[in-house]
């Protein structure tokens, strides 16, 4: 890599003038309906359809956004053919000039964590991510191997801090005697690592996943982690609006990338894009992407880019 991840992400966001990243979550039901396929395919046939779908999405959005976020689960479910398709999708995105954020939420200890890190962040990674999501809830030693390898390879890590799911508060919001929530303790660790790896952009190679579905906490965490990029899921299908993510940005419109998946991927099934139909689904994908780019420009500091 030619520059630290934090700076590469800043450059890509500035170049595209948007913080939007498109989530590649190829739900089989939607893919099967689009291509009129069997609901119970062989793993090889399913993996090929998923590859066709994801590369089609990439081709539709490659000129519009800085990157894609690939959800590993939708490939892993198809076994070896699915994971081979994942490698091909990552390669296609890189050839298109996109950053690839791999959402695998890996987390383990010691040599096991190191092995996971090598798979996605190492110099010979079979699934070479520009950044990887990591689950820290086993403790700081969970993500240390990922951070070390990411920094050595000019790649990035996004640590789960405050997730977008409805029941994340059950454990993440528990507080200590001083009133500090569990997610805030993790945020402190992330900020230390981000500050120590900050480049010319002011942002480091270690960032945080913070859900758009909790806008007040999102804004608070932005102030608590001034050197950390925020990866913000939840826009669109999970119910968050562009206005909900406004607090994720710094005053220049940087500091956050906002993920939108189903509302873009399957736009051909939904108004106001359904008139394109399945035959012109890529056009619907492109128009939905433009729609969310404009929403973020109008309702967040991302409009300053």
Q: Model confidence at 179, in pLDDT bands (50, 70, 90)?
A: confident
Query: Stretch 257-272: mean pLDDT, rounded?
Result: 95
More reliable by pLDDT, 167 or 233? 233
Q: What is the pLDDT of residue 90?
A: 98
Annotated active-site residue 105? The verdict is yes
Lowest average pLDDT, out of 1-15, 61-75, 96-110, 169-183, goes to 169-183
Express as a percent the part of the chain with pLDDT over 70.
100
Q: What is the pLDDT of residue 141?
A: 87
Does residue 165 carry a pLDDT above 90? Answer: no
Dihedral of alpha carbons 148, 25, 65, 18, sign: negative
Q: What is the pLDDT of residue 73?
A: 98
Q: Model confidence at 1, in pLDDT bands (50, 70, 90)?
A: low
Q: Which of 33, 52, 69, 105 is catalytic?
A: 105
Q: What is the pLDDT of residue 143?
A: 87
pTM for the structure as a whole: 0.95
Does residue 246 carry a pLDDT above 70? Answer: yes
Q: Which CATH number fits domain 5-304: 3.10.20.30, 3.40.50.1000, 3.40.50.720, 3.20.20.70?
A: 3.20.20.70
Does residue 11 carry a pLDDT above 90? Answer: yes
pLDDT tens-digit series, residues 46-98: 999 999 999 999 999 999 999 999 999 999 999 999 999 999 999 999 999 99
- Bridge-partner residues for 106, per DSSP? 134
């Amino acid at each position: 890599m030619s520059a630290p991840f934090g700076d590469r992400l800043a450059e890509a966001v500035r170049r595209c003038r948007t913080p939007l990243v498109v989530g590649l979550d190829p739900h089989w039901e939607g893919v099967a309906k689009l291509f009129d396929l069997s609901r119970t395919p062989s793993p090889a046939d399913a993996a090929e359809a998923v590859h066709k779908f994801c590369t089609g999405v990439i081709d539709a959005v490659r000129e519009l956004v800085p990157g894609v976020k690939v959800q590993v689960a939708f490939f892993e479910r198809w076994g070896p053919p699915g994971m081979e398709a994942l490698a091909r999708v990552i390669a296609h995105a890189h050839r298109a000039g996109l950053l690839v954020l791999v959402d695998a939420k890996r987390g383990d200890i010691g040599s096991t964590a190191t092995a996971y890190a090598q798979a996605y962040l190492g110099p010979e990674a079979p699934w070479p991510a520009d950044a990887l999501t990591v689950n820290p809830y086993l403790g700081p030693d969970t993500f240390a191997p990922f951070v070390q390898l990411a920094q050595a390879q000019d790649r990035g890590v996004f640590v789960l801090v405050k997730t977008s799911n409805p029941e994340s508060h059950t454990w993440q919001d528990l507080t200590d005697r001083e009133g500090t929530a569990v997610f805030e303790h993790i945020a402190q660790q992330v900020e230390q690592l981000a500050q120590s790896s900050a480049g010319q952009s002011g942002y480091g190679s270690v960032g945080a996943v913070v859900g758009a579905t909790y806008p007040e906490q999102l804004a608070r965490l932005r102030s608590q982690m001034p050197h950390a990029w925020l990866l913000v899921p939840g826009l669109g299908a999970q119910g968050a609006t562009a206005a909900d993510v406004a607090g994720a940005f710094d005053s220049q419109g940087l500091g956050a990338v906002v993920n939108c998946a189903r509302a873009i991927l399957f736009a051909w099934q939904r108004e106001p894009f359904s008139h394109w139909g399945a035959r012109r689904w890529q056009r619907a994908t492109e128009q939905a992407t433009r729609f969310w780019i404009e929403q973020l420009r109008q309702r967040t500091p991302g409009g300053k880019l």
